[in-house]
Structure 1
Amino acid sequence: MTKISEASRNWWHEETEGIAFTHAMDMTLLHSEQSPYQKIEIYEHPVFGRVLTLDDLVQASHSDEFMYHEMAVHVPLLGRQRENAEVLIVGGGDGGILREALRHEFVTRVVMVEIDRRVVEVSKEYLGINGNYDDPRAELVIGDAADYVRQARQRGDTFDLIILDLSEPVGPSSSVFTRAFCEDFSACIKPDGVVLDSDSIFVGKDRAYFLQELCGDKDQNLVSIMQRERLLPHVAAYRSIVQLYPAAEFGFFLYSLDGHDYSTPVAELTGRHYNPELHRASFALPTWWRTNLGF
């Protein structure tokens, strides 16, 4: 067991202002910069390894990034028989989603649209969890995802899977937490495709809260927009944990045209976190989910 010295503490706090909640880690700052879009920092923790934060919010760590990345990719990709699958990653600057998507030979194209080149570069240098940007199937686009998706819609470009790997609705991500963006990505999904969204969830004494709504305007909550507007008429959910995300309870949300049931894997894969049994079990939702979140 790693022993942490009591002599010196370097407490870093992530604050969720909407419900006056904070969690803290004793970490050493390795890198800090202000890009044109956001504050990018890398910390070292004696137990959790290196931690990427954007605007003081945890994005990924060596200890648990695979929990999020594997569940975000393998459930929607292996929950349906596919050939020649095309994937769009919205955000994803640390590169972990790209890494997991490229594990599948049937994935023939992966477009990753990240607004901040420095997130990609800093993550490669300090975290090293990214997929291979030189893979011929991969296309890295540095630009605004809202613009990319709007232009993709105009040219009729569609995908089998769109993964919304977004930070909270502050800073550069705020442009995509809109109904217009939801309309655009809904038009870019194939008839048998699916959009994957996700968020941390807090359970309060009266109701459950999405982190998106706590960090920004309640009207900029993508899950609520999709549930209310039914731009893609079928909304389903599964769950996991990601230990360093606020509250640890983490939800994944599937938006589709045809309402396919993604709860049964069509192929075997065992990752560091993902396995077929966990795939199935992740769709078993607690009663409070059904009562508070409408699933």
Structure 2
Amino acid sequence: MSDYEWWQERCDGMGISQSLKVKLLHREQSPFQLVEIYDHEDFGRLLVLDGYIQASQADEFIYHEMGMHVPLLGRERKDANVLIIGGGDGGNLREALVHDFVKSVTMVEIDERVIRLSEEYLGVNGDYNDPRVNLVIDDAKKFVSNAKERDEKFDVIILDLTEPVGPSAVLFTEAFFTDLVEIVSDTGVVVDSDSVFLTLHGGGFLQEQSGDGENLVSVMLKTRLLPHMEAYRANVPLYPGGDFGFYLYSKDGVSLRHPVMDHQGKHYDADVHQASFALPKWQRDWLDR
């Protein structure tokens, strides 16, 4: 353990952080953000962007399975088109490709270095050479605007973003969401997610603490650009607070809480799918604000 030193995750807003005894494997400043790879003896390798843990080899599958399989399997889908915004570690791509009914997966990541370093050090990514995959190295705001002009539609859109402190900051806005809703199919869904906290003042999001006071949930509750929202949750140990929320936005309001087919992951299955929608009363009240 001589090469391992105590490291503290970036602390913003709420005055809390977590400390891990890790060894630095790689650090570089990309054109967009600080990218770091650490090793922990029990949790494996960690991807850290601008001081925030994005994924660990030990528990990344919880986030990726719950974020992808719930919206894909919550209603009948055929020839589904999936859009992943961000997701440079490749875990969401991996889970989307599991299903034969997924016709295409477009992944838009602004920072190619995150993709390549995640491939090299974490190895949790899907197959970028799968013929269904369209990997786009570009700004997501520009991609979505162009997709709107092409009248392109997606059935599942996963917002797999960092906290709003780097290149993702421009995506946590009403302007971005206004364009995004134009590329959601009639039966489609947008999936957003964030760490959840309970304080003396009520519930809160990590994105609100690390950004400028809003996150995509608050934007959608205010604008109702997509009028229907459902929420579900999972515990992801290495995300701040451990309690992690997922938020589904749709046009038609069809509930996705009941899976239409079986799938067995390392974490996800039909029982976990349904149980994840059972929110505690304080979260229900908070989201009904």
What TM-score results when the alignment is normalised by the length of structure 1? 0.96
Q: How does 1:1-295 map to 2 (within 5 A)?
A: 10-219=5-214, 221-294=215-288
Alpha-carbon distance change, 11 to 154 in structure 1, aligned in 2, over 3 angstroms: same
CA-CA distance at 1:16 after TM superposition: 3.0
Alpha-carbon contact 2:3-2:23 (below 8 Å) kept: no
Residues 100-126 of structure 1: CA deviation (Å, up to 9, x unaligned): 000000000000000000000000000
In structure 2, distance between residues paired with 1:252 and 1:22: 22
In structure 2, distance between residues paired with 1:96 and 1:236: 23
In structure 2, distance between residues paired with 1:19 and 1:200: 13
Alpha-carbon contact 1:16-1:214 (below 8 Å) kept: no
Q: Secondary structure at the match of 1:103?
A: coil
In structure 1, distance between residues paired with 2:269 and 2:132: 25
| C-alpha RMSD of matched pairs (Å) | 1.1
In structure 1, distance between residues paired with 2:20 and 2:27: 17
CA-CA distance at 1:206 after TM superposition: 1.9
CA-CA distance at 1:163 after TM superposition: 0.4
In structure 1, distance between residues paired with 2:175 and 2:145: 9
Q: Secondary structure at the match of 2:123?
A: coil
In structure 1, distance between residues paired with 2:219 and 2:172: 9
Structure 2 unaligned segments of length 5 or more: list them.
Answer: none
Alpha-carbon contact 2:195-2:243 (below 8 Å) kept: yes
Alpha-carbon distance change, 133 to 8 in structure 1, aligned in 2, over 3 angstroms: closer
Q: Secondary structure at the match of 1:47?
A: coil
Q: Secondary structure at the match of 2:168?
A: helix
In structure 2, distance between residues paired with 1:76 and 1:292: 23
Q: How many equivalent pairs are there?
A: 289
Structure 1, 251-260 or 284-293: larger mean CA deviation: 284-293
Q: Secondary structure at the match of 1:169?
A: coil
Residues 257-278 of structure 1: CA deviation (Å, up to 9, x unaligned): 0001101111111100001000
In structure 2, distance between residues paired with 1:68 and 1:120: 18
CA-CA distance at 1:44 after TM superposition: 0.5
In structure 2, distance between residues paired with 1:37 and 1:152: 23
Q: Secondary structure at the match of 1:274?
A: coil
In structure 1, distance between residues paired with 2:287 and 2:230: 11
Q: Secondary structure at the match of 1:17?
A: coil
Residues 142-170 of structure 1: CA deviation (Å, up to 9, x unaligned): 00001100110111001000000000001
CA-CA distance at 1:292 after TM superposition: 2.0
What TM-score results when the alignment is normalised by the length of structure 2? 0.98
Q: Secondary structure at the match of 1:97?
A: helix
CA-CA distance at 1:218 after TM superposition: 1.4
Residues 219-270 of structure 1: CA deviation (Å, up to 9, x unaligned): 4x11100111000000110000111000010000000000011011111111
In structure 2, distance between residues paired with 1:8 and 1:137: 42
Whichever residue aligns with residue 102 of structure 2, its letter is V
In structure 1, distance between residues paired with 2:135 and 2:4: 39
Whichever residue aligns with residue 92 of structure 2, its letter is I
Whichever residue aligns with residue 193 of structure 2, its letter is S
Alpha-carbon contact 1:94-1:119 (below 8 Å) kept: yes
